[in-house]
Amino acid sequence: MHTLITGAAGMIGRKLTARLVRDGALAGRAIERMTLTDIVGPEAPARAPFAVATAASDLAAADAAAEAIAHRPDVIFHLAAVVSGEAEADFDKGYRVNSDSIRELLEAIRLAGDGYRPKLVFASSIAVFGAPFPDAIGDEFFLTPLTSYGTQKAIGELLLADYTRRGFLDGIGIRLPSIVVRPGEPNRAASGFFSSIIREPLAGQEAVLPVSEDVRHWFASPRAAVEFLIHAASLARERLGARINLTMPGLSCTVGEQIAALARVAGADAVRRIRREPDAAIAKIVAGWPQNFDARRAAALGFRAETSFDEIIRAHIEDELGGRIG
């Protein structure tokens, strides 16, 4: 099997790469070749048991997508994206990266011919939904995004569904919750504080909380996100039916409940490192985000996420901090 990961230099791309290198297989088939691409060339994993090619590529550029699939990957994970805050701040960049790149990729696959029909797993987002919301957003709720990022992801879902319907590929879109706790430096996502109020205190550093503690959102860990992607790649087309875009399971939790979990796992000293500094702009963006889901269809198909925020924090400590708190 040949796998292609776009956006491979990003956090989830790196973790997915590491997991596939460790497993050496996907969907019951041995991986023989892997291609990693991103706007900045991804780092090739050490000691991979198969051939790995890396490339710096802008998929929205002419011929870049055709070059990315030139060796006919069997499974494509399309993770290339700019995050919510950046997509809102830079309208042109958001549409180029989040919308144009998937259209170019789908067209390259369609035009490849010769019976080429890969599995394509698209990382979408719960940002495709917009207020007003029911108490829990079910599988029948319609897409009404209230941000450019959400609109771009919704466009990707619609394109994926149509190209799959026409038989050009075997697609599945997975709407990821907000992924926490994200390791490394903060990114430009408006949701970044959800991670920073856990990550920085665990590392002995101060974190800024720009919203009130009653803000509620939908979460899963990076570990769960990788599992979602791998499970999606393994699902038979017949199990999905015509509706190929799915909201992933997650945990509905308030900021106050996050902080309480931090206290249970790491103690009161960690909590004291959180500084309240209200930001009206961020609060306005967050107010339009979904808070809770009833992801029963994804659950019935075997997707799983954490059931407590304590689990999410412990996963970060185990995966990023070597099991130790700073």
Rounded distance, CA 61 to CA 97, Å? 10
Order of all β-strands in the sheet with 251-254: 178-179, 216-220, 251-254
In Å, the largest CA–CA distance within the chain is 62
What is the token pair recorded at 96? 């180029």
Minimal CA–CA distance to 286: which of 218, 221, 190? 190
Q: Which of 95, 116, 149, 163 is catalytic?
A: 149
User: Omega into 181 within 30° of 0, i.e. cis?
Assistant: yes
Answer yes or no: 116 catalytic: no
Alpha helices in the chain (DSSP H): 11-23, 64-68, 84-89, 91-95, 101-112, 148-165, 192-202, 222-234, 237-240, 255-266, 268-271, 280-287, 296-300, 309-320
For the annotated catalytic residues, the residue numbers are 149
